[in-house]
Amino acid sequence: MISSLSGIWVFLAKSPLLWLTLTLLVYLAAVWLYRRSGASPFLIPVLTAVSSLIGILMLSGTPYPTYFEGAKFIHFLIGPATVALAIPLYGQLERLKQIWLPVGVALLAGSVAAILSATLIAWALGGSLETLMSLAPKSATMPIAMAVAERLGGLPSLAAAAVAVTGITGTIMARPLLNALRIDDPAVRGFAVGITAHAIGTARALQVHETAGAFAALAMGLNGIATALLMPLVVGLLKMMGVVP
Amino acid sequence: MIYAIATLFVFQLIGEVAVQALGLPLPGPLVGMLLLFVALLLYGRVPDALSRTTGTLLQHMMLLFIPAVTGVMMHFGRVASEWQPFLAACVGGAAVTLVVTAFTLRWMLRLQKKQTP
């Protein structure tokens, strides 16, 4: 009995179906918990689901690459979902036509602030050069941040970790911080969240408010482009300041 | 649904091909998004089928990041040895970015309002 159970486990643990199904079930449980809590930002589904999955993988002794063999089918959908962001964006077209200049200036300020603040804080606390360069693009979406970090001498996978931590903490702090600053306009709130916390912030903004979601999607898309283009300039500036060799 | 999924995949594919062919420093899906946006501008409205399927997909966008974010477990070592600069940069950087972006956009919107009464 025991040996046949472990035989089933050996089979399942290797099959993509187990980890694919488990990711979906853990996500559904995380969403249920999130709704039960009245949409508490501390229980955003990505945070609870990832913590649970890491726990499950560690307890079962499953290496991450084995897990990813199954979960990659979900991961693949990030591409089409990114393309789909054009639709909420199009919904804000009329408003965008009126405010393209404020949006452009805020994008520039936010993008530079994201890169500079991350590198300067890590530098002041003695982070290594590899860590600095992995942290610099942390407010961009994951595929962009990984590519940019690698080009500048960072580690792509560490950049992915920085993107994840930034996305989660940025999403958690957005509501209390923006409330404290008395920023009420959903467009401004969404835009700031999208620049700061990329797709994770956008996913939450889309759940909370339609306009906020559309502006978060807009901000995230634009910040991805801006980060890729601005990074070499900002790193040049950091070299002049003596922060990076 | 199939129509919508096919549309998204086609635009992603065009985006990836454009990035490879032109050597753009951007990810393919982002270029695909910009191209779909332009296509919607030309078409003049969002087809119903597209709007329904993408609505569901975007509602559950967080699900799609779970596999990648779980990869954080591969970096426990590095994060453990440099956790202070790492965490401070992520959390502090996020706070600075939120404040700078929100204030700049609000300030610029007010400035624009004053100029066009």
- Residue B12: predicted pLDDT: 96
- Same domain for B53 and B34? yes
- Same domain for A111 and A217? yes
CA distance A27 to chain B (A): 6
CB contact under 8 A, A86 and B33: yes
- Same domain for B22 and B79? no
Q: Does the pLDDT of residue B26 top 90, yes or no?
A: no
The amino acid present at A70, given as its one-letter code, is G
CB contact under 8 A, B109 and A185: yes
- Same domain for B46 and B78? no
The overall average pLDDT reported for chain A is 90
- Same domain for B58 and B112? no
- Residue A184: predicted pLDDT: 93
Domain that holds residue B42: 1-64
Q: Does the pLDDT of residue A38 top 90, yes or no?
A: no
Q: Report pLDDT digits (tens) over A53-91.
A: 999 999 999 999 999 999 999 989 988 998 998 898 888
CB contact under 8 A, A193 and B98: yes
Q: Report pLDDT digits (tens) over A131-177.
A: 999 999 999 888 788 878 888 888 887 888 899 899 999 999 999 99
End-to-end CA distance of chain A: 62
- Same domain for B79 and B59? no
- Same domain for A10 and A90? no
Domain that holds residue A40: 2-84
| Number of residues written out for chain A | 245
- Same domain for B59 and B79? no
| Boundary residue ending a domain (A20, A55, A84) | A84
Among A91, A168, A98, A197, which Cα is nearest to B102's? A197
Which of A21, A47, A60, A87 would you mutate first to test chain B, the one with the most B CBs within 10 A?
A87
- Same domain for A111 and A152? yes
What are the phi and psi torsion angles at A76 (to 5°)? Answer: -60, -30
- Same domain for A77 and A29? yes
Q: Does the pLDDT of residue A2 top 70, yes or no?
A: no
Alpha carbon distance A215, A206 (integer Å): 9
Least CB–CB distance from B33: residue in A83, A161, A229: A83
- Same domain for A57 and A159? no
Alpha carbon distance A156, A161 (integer Å): 9
Number of domains in chain A: 2
CA atoms within 13 A on the CB side of A230: 22
In this prediction the ipTM stands at 0.89
| Boundary residue ending a domain (A84, A105, A120) | A84
CA distance B74 to chain A (A): 7
